[in-house]
Structure 1
């Protein structure tokens, strides 16, 4: 009986061992299948990434710097336009020695291949400990046709050197800082300030001086005064065009003519004709030698006396007297106006034009 029970127990142990062995084999097979699938997936992804030309690169603009110098660190990736890229998150401190001072947003640019896009992100880094530092690769996350994976950049080495110290010279005095030369940008505010202060002082003194002289601070330049004969001839033209004697305004007509002549006489000869009677004005001309010849004196005398008869004696002159009076007024102004001064240049030009005209006429005759 005991022998039979021993055999049964032995058989049960063998069965349990076989069951445990089969279960272990199945578990190992499952792990192997998962591992193979993962390798196959990664292998296919790598092949697909290479076919899509995805390349990540890390580089420095200088691999050798002095302590405290700054250097640019670039992360670049070339990828097809239909692939989404996520740049790695670079910490503020790399390898606990290298400090990231500044980072710029990723910049995109076209490549020779129209389907490939280049993206670059720049970092300004520095280091205050000498030594050689191997910056590790950074991993870019990529989305390739819905499949998420990562691709690494290469690693780069940064060599940081300290300043060489000459120990043979011994202690030396501390040198004072050099004064930087002044630039125009620095002195411009002072120059403008001095100019503004000077302008304020000048304006203050000028205003005090003008105030003491009872003059306004600013005056508008007066328009140059027109010559007396120009004004007189313009007024006579106006009177001629109005023809007041044809509108039964004979008195007004003669008043306008004589007033024009009297203002002209005041400006031209400094005779107060507007305040004098006709006889007093004529007497002033007679007492001044060589101002008027007999002809002009006779014409102005005839005009003034006729105008007095019309204005004060209600005399009605003949129609021809109206035209004759206006003619006498024009003659008096034109004969007594100042002679025009011809500049030497104008005289030379006129002489040359005259000579050229004579030469042309002579050539025409010879032809």
Structure 2
């Protein structure tokens, strides 16, 4: 198709298409003819500023692509003039009628515009049963990466997939821990009989029961603390025993030398609870102190010892934790 050339002082540009009507997706050629003085560099800014990695330039809202892999042939016209013929592959992917822009050519200080062209893109009418032939293979995506091999739903919802995987891992870990330890969360260390007794004694003292005339409640709680300690520390079922039965069990135990503490406590407590005798303040204090002494003097004592080996020339340090004596008043 003949085209009207743009006019400038020394440069002229004309444009034509091999076909003004093309099937969608098919290639045609855009011919650009430039006439200029010999020896002057020049070019189309449209292609000069294109991204080489993309391999094309989009026009008409990117509905039409001009390949940057065009060919350029030069013809000597004489009289110091040359003609440069650009053959640019053109491809359209949307059907419709498009008016191509004027193509600007710049040569040093001169420039010229080509004529505008119209291209009709015909849609491809096919059915599911029509054979596919005569079409180019699917091109590789630009900037291809590993993610291109993944389904779109996996790329779009990757954070949900990670959350689900983490939830599954946490569930499996929790089940394994539950089967092994009987609980998911780490068990809080159970307080020792000594720690429980000392804590309960301090709480009892802070209530000031006997100072308020509540001697029975005071001795009931005090003996309960002692009985619970005996049960947990020595395995004596003291909560179900009488005072005499407790004393008999202590006589055959490893702490029979501490029986006097327990005897004083239980004796005064029996008088207060059953005979309704009101003890003296000194008796209240002595009973409390004796419980504290009994607990302190019978608590488990860790002992770390090492026998020196003969002939090794070393004197290993033997560490022993001495039993704390004395009571809390």
Superposition TM-score, scaled by structure 2 size: 0.46
Structure number with larger C-alpha Rg:
1
Structure having the higher helix fraction is 1
Superposition TM-score, scaled by structure 1 size: 0.42
